[in-house]
């Protein structure tokens, strides 16, 4: 009887554990999407934004509005063009307090830092919280939902520093 109970416990542990495990391989693959996201801001290239988001995107700007894919991408196209003409620069970075994934879906939450005109007299930093959902579509991770908010300007450098670096997989994988 003890062997049977032990066998059942071992079986349950083995069968349940992989469901809850976070894959560092998935995190690495998702980070390639984030690398394109970073590059889009650095180069002001809206086509990179179009590439990493799914056509069925739901984009929520906290406290403001909900956008579809076309509106969201067209806003980046116009905004990046304005920035190029005005010789504005942008650099964005992300830190995370939650990264959950399986082989088809991922949820990532954290804090972003957007620096405009880095190293210039008019340099400004902006912070906010984000929550992004990914789906693996045709073998590629795509952003399907993107929510962010500055929480009435209460998010700052301290919040950013408390979150974990994008390459700190140890905090989020087993």
pLDDT of residue 6: 47
CA-to-CA separations, 166 to 34, 78, 91, 119, 163, in angstroms, rounded: 9, 28, 15, 23, 9
Instruction: Compute the average pLDDT of residues 65-83.
Output: 97
> pTM of this prediction?
0.85
All domains in the chain, ordered by first residue: 20-171 (3.10.450.50)
Q: What average pLDDT does the structure give for the chain?
A: 89
Q: Is the dihedral of CA 18, 165, 156, 74 positive or negative?
A: negative
Determine if residue 44 is left, alpha or beta; phi over 0 gives left, psi from -120 to 50 gives alpha, anything else beta.
left
pLDDT confidence of 85, banded at 50, 70, 90? very high
Strand partners for 174: none
For the ranges 20-24, 39-43, 56-60, 164-168, which has the lowest average pLDDT?
20-24
* Cβ(146)–Cβ(62) below 8 Å: no
DSSP string, 105-163: EEEEEEEEEEEESTTSTT-EEEEEEEEEEEEEETTEEEEEEEEEE-TTTT--HHHHHHS
* Cβ(49)–Cβ(57) below 8 Å: no
pLDDT of residue 1: 54
pLDDT of residue 23: 86
Q: Write out pLDDT tens, residues 5-37.
A: 444 444 444 344 444 456 899 999 999 999 999
Instruction: Compute the average pLDDT of residues 142-148.
Output: 98
Q: Write out pLDDT tens, residues 100-110.
A: 999 999 999 99
The number of beta carbons lying within 10 Å of the beta carbon of residue 137 is 13
Residue 116: pLDDT above 70?
Answer: yes
Q: How many residues does the chain have?
A: 174
pLDDT confidence of 119, banded at 50, 70, 90? confident
């Amino acid at each position: 009887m003890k062997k049977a109970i032990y066998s059942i416990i071992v079986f349950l542990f083995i069968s349940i554990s992989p469901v809850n495990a976070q894959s560092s391989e998935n995190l690495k693959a998702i980070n390639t999407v984030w690398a394109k996201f970073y590059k889009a801001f650095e180069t002001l290239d809206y086509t990179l934004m179009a590439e990493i988001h799914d056509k069925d995107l739901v984009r929520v700007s906290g406290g403001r509005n909900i956008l579809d894919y076309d509106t969201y991408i067209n806003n980046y196209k116009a905004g990046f063009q304005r920035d190029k003409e005005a010789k504005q620069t942008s650099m964005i970075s992300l830190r995370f307090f939650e990264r959950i994934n399986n082989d088809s879906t991922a949820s990532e939450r954290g804090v972003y830092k957007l620096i405009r005109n880095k190293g210039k007299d008019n340099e400004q930093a902006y912070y906010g919280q984000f929550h992004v959902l990914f789906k693996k579509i045709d073998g590629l991770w795509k952003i399907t939902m993107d929510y962010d908010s500055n929480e009435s300007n209460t998010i700052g450098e301290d919040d950013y520093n408390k979150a974990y670096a994008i390459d700190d997989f140890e905090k989020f994988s087993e």
